[in-house]
Structure 1
Amino acid sequence: MAAPVAGKQSGGSAHPRAASPASNPVQASPAPLQPFPAPPRASSAPPATPWQPRPAQPGVFARVRPDAPPPIGSAALWAVLATGILSALLLGEGLGINLLLVALPAAAGAWLEARRAGRKARAWTLTWAVGGPALLVVPALSDAGWPTFLAVVSAVALGSLALHGSRSWLGVLAGSLGMLDRVVPGVGWGLRGVRARATGSRAHWGTVLRTAAVAAVLLLVFGTLFASADAAFADLLGDVLPDVSVGDGPVRVLLLALGLVGALAAAHTAAAPTRWDGITVRPGRARGRVEWALPLIVLDVLFAAFIALQLVVLLGGYDKVLEETGPKPAEYAREGFWQLLWATLLTLVVIALALRLAPRGGAKDRLLVKGVLGTLCVLTLVVVASALRRMDLYVDAFGLTRLRISVAAVELWLGVVLVLIIAAGVFGARHLPRAVAVSAAIGVLAFGLISPDRLIAEQNVQRYREGKAIDITYLQNLSADAVPALDRIPDPNMRACALREIQSTLRRSDAPWYATSWSEATARDLLAEHPVAPVGSPCYELNDTDDRIGRDPADPADPGRSDPYDPY
């Protein structure tokens, strides 16, 4: 009886359904323990090799490259077309208010595309947008070519900044030239927009062309009839309408293309500006306090020693210094200005490098940087004042010229930059790059509005009234801006010599109203009322070696030539 029982138990335990761990915990076998995790399964990918190229990192251009702009809008296309037509009709005879008239539709097209792209106007954007047209007022007022050139270039730079909205040093510099890389993309963008509209609405374009043709025919027929019926009306049409001839065809086509390309580049930039601020310049390796500050402190001491002598001159010790040092007034007035101008420029370079290498440990380092560089800026301002004082003495001795007034203006602007750097050290440098750009634009605008040729003529005529020398050969090469001042020369022969070349130039010019500056129109009226009389003797006899600008009459060794610093 015992055996069957044992066999039954044995058989029951051997059957898988006879017992379970819950019913018989003693016989249940626990899971084996694994003290270490199982190794991961090997990947099927081949192992990396040392010479395998790494994935390409986004480059500089990837950070600044703009997104693709949306298709150009119909209103912007009409603005671009208006810009091209006005360029072809108005820009062929010269510069005046016509440049502002051409810029307005181009600016309107860029503004429309900026709105369609969802861009919002900010304070700095409005500053650039207002400054550009303001600079284009200079060609409408001044006849001189060199202030006009500076104003036009600055207006284009401000317009580009308005479209990009840059704020860093590199962004402001690149943003002022940023529209140049949009010429080819802008043309393709505009052609795609024209093609899309021409394909979808052929009947609409046919209606527009027929309407324009009918209007042109009506204006031509009835305008010709009215002009032949009334001479006054014919003169009015001749003054108002552009003078277009067949011989000017190639030039007009070129101006049309330039207007279209420029307006498309501006609109394309407004729709998708390049992010020039994405290019960052890493700061230089910070130096220790002594290593960084000691050379600058030595430079401050050198500036202070030089300024100690300059203050004597500025406070009225001019004659005493000349007695002790030996040079004549003309030599002392001339020497040193160019060296001081270069010293100012190099000081700005030193400040830029010093800021890159300045210690950046904490509040004490910041205080050290502000103290050393602030002292250098203040001392440099005194150097600027000394340079301007020397130029004033030089102009008082020899008269005003284009080069002298230009370099004096540059030195004055460098002083403004130093003041802005000092303000940035006190209030923060966030707006410093844009503030420097604004100061340059304001300087160019003021330089054009004061009419340098007019100032040169007024100063030299006043010197002649005081019994000093006057250089007629130099003054007769000035622009029409100088006519009101030259007309007040008391000697009739000298007045005729000074105005003869300008009057001849104005008589040869037949520019229409939109290509004539206000100064040129004023000069025409003045010379019409008081024409230049025939000269009784040759003009070179009235302008001997003692009357040349830049000569020291007290120096017999001076050959009487123009100032060697003056290329005009």
Structure 2
Amino acid sequence: MSENADGAEQAKAGDPARALPGGGTPVPPGDPASGPTPADQAAAPAAPAPAPAPASAAASADPAAAPADQAPASAAAPAGPAPAPAPAAPAPAPAPQAGAQAQAPAPQPAQDPWAVRTPGAGAQPGRSAAPAAPPAPPIAPGLRGHDPAAWHLWQMHQFRLSQEKAREEAAARAANSMWSRIRPAEAAPVRTATLVAVLAAGLTTATVLGDGMGPGLLLAVLPAMVAAYAAARAAGRKARPWSLLWAAGCVALLAVPALRDSAWPSTLAILAAVLLAALALHGTSRWPGVLLAPLGFFDSAVTGVGWAWKGVRSRGGGASRDRWVSVIKALLVAAVLLIVFGALFASADAAFADLLGELLPDVSVGEGPFRFLLFLLGAVLALAAARTAAAPHRWDRVRSRQWKARSRLEWSLPLIVLNLLFAGFNAVQLAVLFGGYDKVLESTGLTYAEYARQGFWQLLWATLFVLAVIAFALRWAPRGGAGDRRLVRSVLGTLCLLTLVVVASAVRRMDLYVDAYGLTRLRLSVVTMELWLGLVIVLLMAAGIAGGRWLARAVVGSAAAAVLAFGLASPDGIIAEYNVNRYQQDDKLDLAYLRDLSADAAPYLDRLPEPRRSCALMPIEAELRRAADAPWYATSLGEHRARQILRDRPVTASVEECSRLGAFGSRVE
């Protein structure tokens, strides 16, 4: 067999340098089988052209060889019968002959749909050239210096592989991202009970919240809770004890606006109720989930609308549509009957008419847009709660980065120094407590108020900083064994005990300040916060002994309980009672501040002598007069009691008398 046939067999054997994607057999430059390069031809001496080969020799050539009119014959062959003609195929380069060097044309690769054709590279007439390919990877050694079309095919193939690899890497990164871990699963299809409860929540919100908070807030939330319960049951979620506890706490906190007229404890109660609702719906128990759970409502509010619309469309045909039409017809008939017979009974009996006037809202046409917005708000919030209950975010999958543990000396030395500082400060506080404040005031030249006020805020910040120090110390704590655990417990436990003394000192200082200048909202709030921080420190000490898996829930539960107790205790009533008792003892009264209290303070301000009583109750009376037409669901218990007090004993003092008593002076916090 000829040398060309030998080259073809070598390409078929799997030589990577000789195989082309298009089916040819190119070889790298410098290979003897590839023939001389143009530079070699220029350097070689001219040689006479070989004699034409006989027909028998051309007929006996390898079938893969080029036709005689395209390339010279490679060598003479013995005469013999001519083989049958074979299909045309690209021929390998001919081997060099003695005394003659001939260059065969490059093989033509197979047509490929990926190949980019340009006018100078075999473009067909009448067809526009495709856009240029992106930057190519490094040239394959086996393709350098050969057919441009085959080389371009290899370029496109490598580019496609790189694109597929990039897509696979992006998909892997997305699968391992934080959002993919916490993203909620596909929610179960929304049920009819959920849609009805959402509709009821929107209607209740538009009806009762347009006139104010009061008991109406709790009435508007109850249908949303029913919607969330129905969605959770449809998704197969069972109520857990902690979820039931958070739900009960949410309802109790929403009762604060129904009992108290003061806005600031009601606002705290509503915020705490939102947090407990998020915990009840998500079922989280770890710190990341506790802190991030309320954020899930924002995503559920957006996806909940599409979820509900999909459920409505699925019920738009067949038996489901007929059932909905029947329900709507029944509701319309019931509404017509109620309107007709209710109007007849109201016109027949005045007492029944008054009862209907108190129960039913008084809605005018001008309030239509505002009521419609309230309807949308209530429905969207109810959908957010239901969507969260059906498919909650998995916040417990959030994992914080494990911090590097420090050595015992590196970790314990700063904390031991801090403990020594706290011990020295507490020793001074005990000396002042047993030695008396008078001696301290004489040596410092400060008054009671100055001594108390200059230290309380610093001690409050010190307590907050201690909690931050403990959090970071636990992250960097040594974790080598039982000895390291004993070291951590002893050092941090000592710091917690010393911090409790600081908390007691701060509360004592505020007590001195209140005794000198009276009680205000700010002073009562910060004392309550300081006491709660002391409770958190006690919980930290208990977690150091019994383990801290329950700590996040305990801290949240204690905060919610503190807010609930704060609201139920009526802060404005406590402030009014304290200042009235103080006035009865030493005749000191900040009348201008008492006038700023809400209707919750009316039972205690009613104990003041005239004209101070009337001056203190005058703003409350004016506010109640403006809200005289408020329905029952927009009136709190504090407002109701104040109305009864002012109805029995109206305000009698004049503005001039109140001005002489300093009722219009500056407020003092």
Task: Look up the match of 2:192.
Answer: 74
Q: 2:239 aligns with which of 107, 121, 145?
A: 121
Task: List aligned pairs for 1:353-432, cutoff 5 A.
Answer: 353-432=472-551
Kept in 1, the 8 Å contact 2:285–2:396? The answer is yes
Task: Look up the match of 1:171.
Answer: 289
Task: Look up the match of 1:528.
Answer: 647
Q: Distance in 1 between matches of 2:317 and 2:330?
A: 20
Task: Look up the match of 2:593.
Answer: 474
Task: Look up the match of 2:466.
Answer: 347
Structure 2 vs 1, CA of residues 41 and 120 (structure 1 numbering), >3 Å: closer, same or farther?
farther
**What whole-Å deviation, never above 9, does each CA across 1:279-301 have from its counterpart, x for those lacking one?**
10022111111111001100000
Shift of 1:465: 0.5
Task: List aligned pairs for 1:140-155, cutoff 5 A.
Answer: 140-155=258-273
Kept in 1, the 8 Å contact 2:496–2:541? The answer is yes
Q: Distance in 2 between matches of 1:296 and 1:148?
A: 40
Task: Look up the match of 1:317.
Answer: 436
Task: Look up the match of 1:462.
Answer: 581
Q: 1:196 aligns with which of 314, 336, 347?
A: 314
Q: 1:443 aligns with which of 550, 562, 566?
A: 562
Task: Look up the match of 2:299.
Answer: 181
Q: Distance in 2 between matches of 1:536 and 1:165?
A: 56
Amino acid of the residue matched to residue 181 of structure 1? D
Amino acid of the residue matched to residue 206 of structure 2? A
Q: Distance in 1 between matches of 2:225 and 2:336?
A: 31
Q: Distance in 1 between matches of 2:454 and 2:15?
A: 85
Structure 1 position 513 matched with structure 2 position 621: no
Shift of 1:536: 7.3
Kept in 1, the 8 Å contact 2:218–2:254? The answer is yes
The SS at the match of 2:316 is helix
Kept in 2, the 8 Å contact 1:314–1:386? The answer is no
The SS at the match of 1:66 is coil
Shift of 1:208: 2.0
Q: Distance in 2 between matches of 1:473 and 1:358?
A: 53
The two structures have a TM-score, normalised by structure 1, of 0.86
Q: Distance in 2 between matches of 1:95 and 1:534?
A: 31
Q: Which has the higher contact order (CA 8 A, sep 6+)?
A: 1
**What whole-Å deviation, never above 9, does each CA across 1:25-66 have from its counterpart, x for those lacking one?**
xxxxxxxxxxxxxxx999x99899899646223211111111
**Structure 1 outlier segments of 4+, above 6 Å:** 44-51
The two structures have a TM-score, normalised by structure 2, of 0.73
Kept in 2, the 8 Å contact 1:314–1:389? The answer is no
Q: Distance in 2 between matches of 1:562 and 1:94?
A: 27
The SS at the match of 1:533 is coil
Shift of 1:207: 2.1
Kept in 1, the 8 Å contact 2:592–2:667? The answer is no
Q: Distance in 2 between matches of 1:223 and 1:211?
A: 18
Between stretches 225-234 and 286-295, larger displacement belongs to 225-234
Q: Distance in 2 between matches of 1:232 and 1:403?
A: 46
**What whole-Å deviation, never above 9, does each CA across 1:154-191 have from its counterpart, x for those lacking one?**
11111111000111111110113321211110011011
The SS at the match of 1:327 is coil
Aligned length: 510
Task: List aligned pairs for 1:5-84, cutoff 5 A.
Answer: 53=166, 55=169, 56-57=172-173, 58-84=176-202
**What whole-Å deviation, never above 9, does each CA across 1:78-108 have from its counterpart, x for those lacking one?**
1111111111111111111111111112111
Task: Look up the match of 2:359.
Answer: 240
Q: 1:266 aligns with which of 366, 379, 385?
A: 385
Structure 1 position 139 matched with structure 2 position 257: yes
Q: Distance in 2 between matches of 1:376 and 1:50?
A: 58
Q: Distance in 2 between matches of 1:104 and 1:93?
A: 18
Structure 2 vs 1, CA of residues 126 and 315 (structure 1 numbering), >3 Å: closer, same or farther?
farther
Kept in 1, the 8 Å contact 2:182–2:397? The answer is yes
Q: Distance in 2 between matches of 1:544 and 1:256?
A: 43
Kept in 1, the 8 Å contact 2:426–2:502? The answer is yes
Unaligned runs of 5+ in 1: 1-39, 549-560
**What whole-Å deviation, never above 9, does each CA across 1:242-289 have from its counterpart, x for those lacking one?**
222211111111111111111111111111110011110022111111
**Larger C-alpha radius of gyration, 1 or 2?**
2
Shift of 1:333: 2.1
Task: Look up the match of 1:85.
Answer: 203
Task: Look up the match of 1:10.
Answer: none
Task: Look up the match of 2:216.
Answer: 98
Q: Distance in 2 between matches of 1:46 and 1:476?
A: 81
Q: Distance in 2 between matches of 1:199 and 1:151?
A: 44
Task: Look up the match of 1:295.
Answer: 414
The SS at the match of 2:656 is coil
Task: Look up the match of 2:276.
Answer: 158
The SS at the match of 1:176 is helix
Q: 2:612 aligns with which of 494, 511, 517?
A: 494
Q: Distance in 2 between matches of 1:49 and 1:505?
A: 73
Q: 1:217 aligns with which of 323, 336, 347?
A: 336
Structure 1 position 542 matched with structure 2 position 661: yes
Between stretches 395-404 and 216-225, larger displacement belongs to 216-225
Amino acid of the residue matched to residue 240 of structure 2? R
Kept in 1, the 8 Å contact 2:205–2:220? The answer is yes
Kept in 1, the 8 Å contact 2:615–2:663? The answer is no
Shift of 1:376: 0.6
Alignment identity in percent? 58
Structure 2 vs 1, CA of residues 52 and 222 (structure 1 numbering), >3 Å: closer, same or farther?
closer
Kept in 2, the 8 Å contact 1:377–1:418? The answer is yes
The SS at the match of 1:429 is coil
Kept in 1, the 8 Å contact 2:583–2:589? The answer is yes
